[in-house]
């Protein structure tokens, strides 16, 4: 198996890091983990599992604008209150449309490599992959334990995300996957 080496910048501190891209490596799929404080996306390629920081968080401007509109609504007349409610609905609609558009694009290896890296594990270097199915009131998780590092947990919500994560992990390292329902 051939590979290609290159350099890219880590966006947090602009230090060069070595990027090892395998020839023929492609993205098989991805699963998003969305949280209040931290969101990430796990990309499963033919050679690696790469977890990058997500770009899909709501912007601070949208949060601030919505908060200001809600704060001033009680002091406004009925006509202005209706306009404020319509503005909030508009903000939510615009943000959700932007998210849907960004989800439709299939990520390329270049997109994955340029992301802010949180975790990476190569095929053959994974000790276990544990999957816990989400319940009604709790999230599930994917916990990846590499041979050389601490385990990395990715929280998942919803049965569809669990099915996608389970399928991807089975395609990546079927002998290392353990599903807990």
Position 148 scores a pLDDT of: 85
Render the chain in DSSP notation, one character per residue: --EEEEEEE-TTT--EEEEEEETT--EEEEEEE--SS--EEEEEESSEEEEEE-S-SPPHHHHHHHHHHHHHGGGS-HHHHHHHHHHHHHHHHHHHHHHHHHHHSPPPHHHHHHS-EEEEEETT-EEEEEEE---SSS-EEEEEEESSS--EEEEE-SHHHHHHHHHHHHHH-GGGEEEE-
Residue that wins the pLDDT comparison between 99 and 178: 178
- The answer to whether domain 3-56+104-180 has CATH 2.60.40.10 is no
Residue 111 pLDDT: 81
* Span 102-155, pLDDT tens digits: 555 778 888 888 888 899 999 999 999 999 999 888 889 999 999 988 899 999
**Which of 83, 73, 33, 74 shows the shortest CA–CA distance to 54?**
33
Domain spans of the chain, in order of start: 3-56+104-180
Mean pLDDT check: name the lowest of 8-12, 43-47, 93-97, 137-141: 8-12
The confidence band for 2, taking pLDDT boundaries of 50, 70 and 90, is: very low
Higher pLDDT, 5 or 59: 59
Q: How does pLDDT run across 19-68, given as a tens digit for each residue?
A: 556 678 888 999 988 765 678 889 999 999 999 887 655 556 666 777 77
The residue-averaged pLDDT of 83-94 equals: 78
d(CA 67, CA 59): 13
């Amino acid at each position: 198996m051939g590979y290609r080496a290159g350099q890219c910048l880590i966006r947090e501190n602009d230090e060069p890091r070595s990027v090892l891209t395998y020839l023929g490596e492609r993205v098989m799929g991805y699963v998003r983990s969305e949280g209040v404080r931290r969101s990430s996306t796990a990309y499963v390629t033919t050679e690696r599992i790469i977890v990058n920081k997500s770009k899909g968080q709501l912007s601070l401007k949208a949060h601030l604008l919505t908060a200001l509109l809600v704060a001033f609504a009680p002091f406004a007349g009925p006509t202005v209150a209706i306009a404020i409610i319509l503005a909030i609905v508009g903000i939510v609609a615009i943000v959700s449309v932007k998210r849907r558009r960004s989800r439709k694009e299939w990520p390329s290896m270049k997109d994955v490599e340029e992301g802010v890296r949180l975790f990476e594990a190569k095929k053959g270097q994974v000790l276990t992959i544990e999957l816990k199915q989400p319940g009604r009131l709790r999230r599930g998780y994917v916990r990846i334990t590499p041979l050389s590092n601490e385990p990395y947990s990715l929280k998942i919500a919803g049965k569809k995300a669990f099915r996608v994560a389970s399928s991807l992990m089975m395609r990546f390292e079927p002998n290392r996957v353990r599903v807990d329902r």
